[in-house]
Amino acid sequence: MNLERLHILLVCNLGASTGVMVTKMKEIAQSSEKLRQTDVRIEAHPAGELREYVADFDVIMVGPQIKHQLKQLSEIANEHGKPIQVIDTKDYGTVNGANILKDAIILKLNGEEKGERG
């Protein structure tokens, strides 16, 4: 895997639990041999602010507590050519940052490979 850049936006309700996830994911990315040469940026923002931030990120990961908003969030992501996916409920609940980081990498690579987004 040779990623130059991996900018992940976690979209949530208010951000408390997602903020914990961001911290965990950053720790994992910083200790990862495979991501050592990668420009990794991970942030969490409320769903209502997606339009403000979407252009600055490579992939959008949606908190499972707001998966009911996926359709409207996907419309925004698609306008900007960004892949989007709901975070696995179990991984989110157990704060499994490694699995969520892996899912984000796969989402980015699949989007690039297909030449399409969303």
Average pLDDT (80-89) is 96
Q: What three-state secondary structure class fits 82?
A: coil
Domain boundaries, the chain: 5-113
Catalytic residue, chosen from 8, 9, 12, 22, is: 12
Please answer whether residues 93 and 41 qualify as being in contact, where contact means their C-beta atoms are separated by less than 8 angstroms: no
Q: What are phi and psi of 42, to 5 degrees?
A: -135, 125
Active site residue 96: no
Band the pLDDT of 117: cuts 50, 70, 90.
very low
CA angle, residues 26, 32, 33, in degrees to nearest 5: 150
Mean pLDDT of 40-68: 95
pTM across the whole model: 0.91
CATH topology of domain 5-113: Rossmann fold (3.40.50)
pLDDT per residue as tens digits for the range 62-78: 999 999 999 999 999 99
Contact of 4 with 38, CB cutoff 8 Å: yes
